[in-house]
Every structure is written in structure tokens, then in C-alpha cells.
Chains A and B, each alone.
Chain A
């Protein structure tokens, strides 16, 4: 369904193989962008409900239903589609090979979109499994799983076409992350060990793994390819990247229970999760060091390059992960657990890290595929709106969460914590509005890089008058 519209891109200048790859990447990015605008519009809408709770009181527009549409939409429609599109592109380019199957790529995209549409509609009608980040009904998650299986099949088969024995580090991360996520989807769906507290244990495992073994490796993988392209220099250390890959794989699956500290889950399970949350500093610091050392000496000009998106992503990864480690300590969870601080943290990681890394990847790779470049000015506007917006957002919710936690510890009435957090919720909406405005500018940039007239075409028209 995407191929027809994508075929409209004028790609005469490119060889046929590249034309296929450009069509695929453009379609994935365009589709993901539509979901980004939709899902963040929903997020912005519900954020205003904290200030105006009686605004739009209907079932379909209620907070309890739209919240899941916002999270599932950003996770499984925006970020997943964009990352899979970029991963397919990276698999082909880094292996110096053709994409294994264009048809399979369209099937994956269609399945991902089908799951997202069905998931959104059913959630809004009130059909939900009621588990954070796995709210979609099981058969919709099965469609998502099929989308992942077809995508990873395509990635592996493409990488297998390489001449070199060596597999570029990006593909380690993207293929590994996708395969693990398939395992995760299966584990989360099987029913027979999900009763009462048993379901809590599975949920503790699932909800954090979905972030750390899906979005993290794919974002890092894409960055490992995009950054050297933008900086025109190799990654600082290949082996440091491999080291971070294996340590991330071994430590991350164990830390999920830190979302249920002081809960009735067994104390040893919680303690194990805390220990490995500290161990996560190993892959995080080695990964971050690898990126920052690659950036070394380029700071004079990266601010005029899309690499700055990846730089923010790297800092988002570092700050968000270290914050996650500290939040796992019981002493700090007494204050912050179950407060809005956690919502701020999840936006620092999913937005400040994952989404910025995806934007860096798109701005780096999409113009190289289509030959169309975005305007520097609109790229800059997008950057600053989103960056300032997310800083306001995270700061406001970190403050709100701290105040809530202190109120509870002081033994004030619960409603006092609601009143005290209220001004910060308004600031969250301010930050969210800036972020959303940034997404509209980003959508315009995607348009110029794909189907519209880009600045390169305008420049060509000016310099070479017909």
C-alpha cells in the first residue's frame, strides 16, 4: 500500500538498488512520522486534562483510554516503525548489498501499521488487556510480533549477502534487539503463568525489557552507523561497542523488578533487580564513552549538523540511564516511586534518548537515500523546540514528583500532594506544547526529504536556470 505513493519520489539519479532502498526508508519514515504527530497530539491533549479535568468528558476522549493510545502509539508505531526502517537501510548499506526483499519490507510495514491501527481503535473503545505497555489485545500483539519476525528475517537475509566476513556493529544491535523483542512478545502472551502475583512478575519483566532491549539496542545500532557518516570518521572503538552489546544483553533482562520495589514481589527478586541496575552502568558508560570519543574534536561544527540530534540522544541515554540506576535504590524509591518523577524519567529516555537518536538517524540517512535535503533553518527550529520542550517537561515532572513524594513522607493528606503538583502539571503542558510544535516542523522536514521539493532542488533550480 505504501509502495504506490512512495513510487512518486523522483529518484532518477539513483541506481535501481538504491531506489528500492530509498523508497522503503522513505515510506517507513513517513508512516512513523504520521504516528508521531498523532500519538503526541493525544499526549498533549491528555496533559491538559490535569488542569481541566472536566474538559471533553466522553468515554472515547477520557484519560484512562487515551493514555494507553499515547504510549502504545509512540512506542509501537512511531519509534518501532522508524527504527525498523532505518535498520533495514543500515543492514543493506553497511553490508554493501541489496535489500533481501522489498516485498517483505512492505509486508512488515503493513503488519506494524495494521497492529497500530487496530490497537488504537480497540483501546479507544475500551478493549484493553490492562497491563502497562502491553495493553493491546493478545491477537493484536501477535500481529506486531509477525511484523517483527518479517523485519528481522529481512535484516538477517540482507546481512547474509555481504562479501566481508565481518558484520558491522550496527547490525549486531538491530538484529539482536529485534530477535530478543520477539522472545519478549511471546513470553508476554503465553497465558499459563500469569495469575495473581505471577502476572506481576511477568509484567515486571516485560515492561522494562520492552524499553531496554528493543528501543535501546536499535537506537544505538542506528547511531553507530549514522554518526560516522555525519562526522566522516570511523567509530572510536569497535570492540567497546561489542562489549556494551553483550553486557547490555546480560544485565538488562534482570532489572525489571525494580519497578515493583516494596511490592509483594519476593524481596530477593527486587534486590537482584537493584544489583543489576547498578551493573547497567557498565554498558551505559562504555556505550556513551564510545560515542563521545567519536565526537571528540568536532564540537565546533556539529551544531550545524544533524549530528547534534545524536549528541543530545547520547546525553539523554547517559543521563536517563544513570537516573534509572539511582532511582532503583530503595532509599531513593521511598521518595520517588509511584510519583510523577517516573513519568519525567521515561520521557527523558524515550524522548531525550530514543526519539532524538531516531531523528539524528533520519536526518543523516534519509537525504542520502533520496538525494533531498531539509532546510537548515527548519531543522534548527525542530531541534530547539523539541530540546527546550523536553527540558521543561522533565524538569517540571521531576519537581512535581519530588514534591509529591515529600508530601507523602510527611504524612500530609493525599489531596495536598495533588494541589502541590498542579502548577508543575501546567508546566508539563507548556513543555509538551513546544515538543509537539517541533514534531509539526519535523513532519514538514520529512516531507521535503521525501515527496516535496527540497532545498537542494530549489538551489539547483536557482543556479542552473533552464
Chain B
């Protein structure tokens, strides 16, 4: 009996101990992670939608975990632990046969698009291999009051009117609820506008806003970072160093695989050289150097210009692979960027070829607004969205979302210029300044 006891009892005791250590205790501890500020609990409709999501096995092909890696950037900001507070039946998934859905409610906010896509994915994405879910819909002869018909392209439309059933509505409600809250609430921007910061010689309001938009999703509004994943900036030696070279270099060229205060950080910080102007970078750096108890020497935009010019030195000082070419001061239309932004933001509805979906999403190829000499209507459509418009005698009911809050002026200009130079279009190019101007007009 002794040997049996050693093998079965002893090994089971060891295993139980390890199971408690690696499964139960982390489970208990992590079950108490507070929700990310701004995260909303699911409504009963959305919760039912998640049950449909689970029951139909959506999580086998779609993850809900955005990693701090460059390949995950199109899906949203990196997922934070508190994002899962209301997601029991965790749906992080282990495979991406389809894209990540953590932020799908923001990325694809049109419920009509979601319905068409669920009824027949190939109606909106011809190359898709996602299964169709026709059992989430009903086909009726006459549209009941209060219901919305799903406007299917003719070749996919069955006889009769397609409307979502309760499961279908719940699933779309759940999908649209999947929005990553910004890790910085809007109020905290106002809070940082302290009058005393005026004497510091930089625009603290701008610095705070730029920091919130570009840095806070990882480093946190309080500069505390996320332990073990994103380094804290409060009290960081580089931020407080009198010599700003390393600080400027990190913002310009990004950073990865660094050991800070004895803790190793693997997540890649992206390079901002191409995304922000010298003044903006200076504002962010000064904001960081004067916040959360930091007392680093302030810098000016000229320091950033000098650091950019010193590129070869910077390459050695920071991680070489993160170095990107310096953007010319007056940028013209970047065709590659425009094409990519279009694919990320517009391609799902208007199609990679700009052909749209007849009767549902209007084509851009040959469109009079896109080819107009005066770009005002094209720009306002991008900024404020559009709905219920007739184009070429065909009426389009599906709402186009506004992009004013999602994209910068430069990005909107790039998209518009891409549209104006593609698929046989010959509209004159626009500049970011024109977007800025129209954005200001209400």
C-alpha cells in the first residue's frame, strides 16, 4: 500500500497544490479586477446577444484580445485587464480565422452592415469564408411596423423581406456594444488644464490632449502604466533626466524590449516621428516632464528638430528596427497611407474597388461628389457622415458614420485623395488645411 500511496496520494497532492497555485488563486485574484473606467455593463439584450455569440461558437474564429503588437493595431488599443469585467464566459478565443472583435462596435458601427454580414457575409465581403447565419432572421411578406428590413443586394436576397429575429437583434446589439472605452476619460483632460502650467513655457492644454490621444491608452492618464506591460512614466529616470535626448528619441522612434527599474517590458512602443509634428512631440514631452511629480527640464520644438536631424545617432541610441524615415515638413498625398486608411475605414462598405454594394452602399468610382472640383461636400461627408441620400437616382438608406472624431485631418485628407485618384476618378487633391477649415465650421 505504501508505494501506491506515494504514487497516487503524493502526486495528487503535488498536483492539487499546483492547481491551486496556477488555476484557483489567479482565478480568485483576477476575478476582482475592477472594470475599466467608462466600461458599461451589458444590457439584458446585449447579454442575450452574448449567449447567442457563445452558442453559435463565434469565439472559435474571432478573438477578443488586442495584443500590444503592430499586427493588432487595426483592431483597437491593447486590451486592458478591466475590459473583461462584464464578460463572464470569457471570449478571448485562441484563433483568428476572422478578425478580432474587441472594438467592433466602434470599427463597424452600422447595424445594417452587421445584419447583412450575418445573413450572408459574402454580400458585403466577397472573399469571406464566414458561415452565414440565416436562422437569426425571418422572411416576411410585408414589413411589420417598427421593424427594419435588411437591404440585401439582389443576388443574395430571398423572396420576401428579411428582418432579424430576436436572437439576431440581440447578437448585433452585443456586437455593437463591443467598444473599447478610452483609457483616459474626457474629464481628466480638463482637470489637467491648471492655470499654473501657463508659466512653464509650453501649452499644457495641448500637451495634455495630445498625451491623452497618443500615449495614455498604454501609459495611463496618471502616467502609472500597466505594471509588467507598459512602463510607468511617473518617476521614470529618462523622463526626469536633464538631458532630453533619450526621451525625445523614444517618442520619435519607439522602443521595445527595454529593462526599466529592473522590470523587463516586451511590448513595442510605436514610433511617432511620422505621426506628430515637432511642436506636438515637444508638447507631449513637456507635459510628461511636468506631470505626476516629474521635474525634467523642459524642451522646445527646436530640440525635436535637432533630434530628428541627428537621426544616425538616434538610431544607435534607441532600438534600430523602430526607426522610421523622417516625414518631410510639408507633406503631399501619401498614396500608400491613403490606400491603407481607406481599406481600414471605408473598404468594408464601399469595396476595395470602390464599387460599393448596389442598392446598399453607394459606389465611389465615378461618383460626382468624389470628382467634383469643389471638395467641400466630399469633406463634410467624411467628417459628419451621411444618410438617406439618392445618388444617380438610386436611394441609399444605410447610414454612413461620421469620421470627424476618429481620424486626423491628415488621415481624412489621405483617404479623400486616395478616393479622388483611384478607380478612374479625377477629382483635384485636397490638403489637410481644407479639412481643418471645414471641421471648424459647424
Contacts and interface: CB of A to CB of B under 8 A. Distances in A.
Interface of A: 49-51, 53-54, 57-59, 62-65, 67-68, 126-132, 156, 159-160, 165-167, 171-172, 175-176, 179-180, 183-184, 187, 190, 192-203, 205-207, 209, 213, 245-246, 249-250, 253-254, 256-257, 259-260, 262-269, 330, 334, 337-340, 342-343, 404-405, 408-409, 411, 413-415, 418-419, 422
Contacts of B32: 198
A422 B97 CA distance: 11
Contacts of B128: 53, 415, 418
A195 B31 contact: yes
B1 A160 contact: yes
Interface stretch (B21-29, B197-205, B411-419, B426-434): B21-29
A126 B121 CA distance: 21
Nearest to A176: B11
B59 interface: yes
Given A57-B131, A414-B74, A418-B97, A128 B19 contact: no
Contact of A197 (B33, B55, B57): B33
For chain B, which range describes its interface: under 10, 10 to 19, 20 to 34, or 35 or more residues?
35 or more
B221 interface: no
B343 A130 contact: no
Contacts of B357: none
B14 A183 contact: no
A187 B99 CA distance: 31
Contacts of A54: 122, 132
Interface of B: 1, 3-4, 7-8, 11-12, 14-16, 18-19, 22-24, 26-33, 54-61, 63, 65, 67-74, 79-81, 83-99, 121-122, 125, 127-135, 227-229, 266-267, 340, 343-344, 347, 352
13 contacts: A53-B122, A176-B8, A190-B24, A197-B31, A197-B81, A198-B30, A199-B88, A256-B22, A256-B23, A265-B26, A265-B30, A405-B71, A413-B347
A410 B159 CA distance: 43
Given A53-B128, A249-B15, A330-B266, A198 B27 contact: yes
Given A339-B95, A411-B71, A415-B125, A196 B87 contact: yes
A49 B132 CA distance: 11
A180 B11 contact: yes
A172 B135 contact: no
A213 to B, nearest CB: 7
A265 B31 CA distance: 11
Contacts of A411: 70-71, 73-74, 340
Given A58-B135, A183-B12, A264-B81, 19 more contacts: A53-B121, A57-B132, A62-B57, A126-B55, A132-B60, A184-B19, A194-B27, A197-B31, A200-B30, A202-B24, A202-B27, A267-B228, A267-B229, A338-B95, A340-B97, A342-B95, A404-B96, A413-B343, A418-B129
A190 B31 CA distance: 13
A179 B55 contact: no
Given A156-B8, A253-B22, A340-B95, A199 B90 contact: yes
A213 B11 CA distance: 12
Nearest to A123: B57
